Amino acid sequence: MKNIKRLLLLIALVLVAGKVLFSDFEIFKTENNATAAVVSK
């Protein structure tokens, strides 16, 4: 039973970390697109 709880906690942590990393990556991508648009002008 302990192992199942530990596994669920691990999965939850991975999901939260993945969401945070993905949102940061999205912001980084949009910033890059904005700078690229400015440079092309």
Q: What are the structure tokens assigned to 16, written together?
A: 């939260």
Q: Give the pLDDT score at 3.
A: 93
Q: Give CA–CA dist 41/34, Å, rounded.
A: 11
Q: Give the pLDDT score at 6.
A: 96
Instruction: Give tens-digit pLDDT for 1-41.
Output: 789 999 999 999 999 888 877 777 776 666 666 665 566 55
Chain Cα centroid distance, residue 20: 4
Query: In sequence order, which ranges of the chain are alpha helices (DSSP H)?
Result: 2-40
Q: Give the pLDDT score at 41.
A: 55
Q: Give the pLDDT score at 17.
A: 86
Q: Give CA–CA dist 4/32, Å, rounded.
A: 42
Q: What are the structure tokens assigned to 19, written together?
A: 């969401």
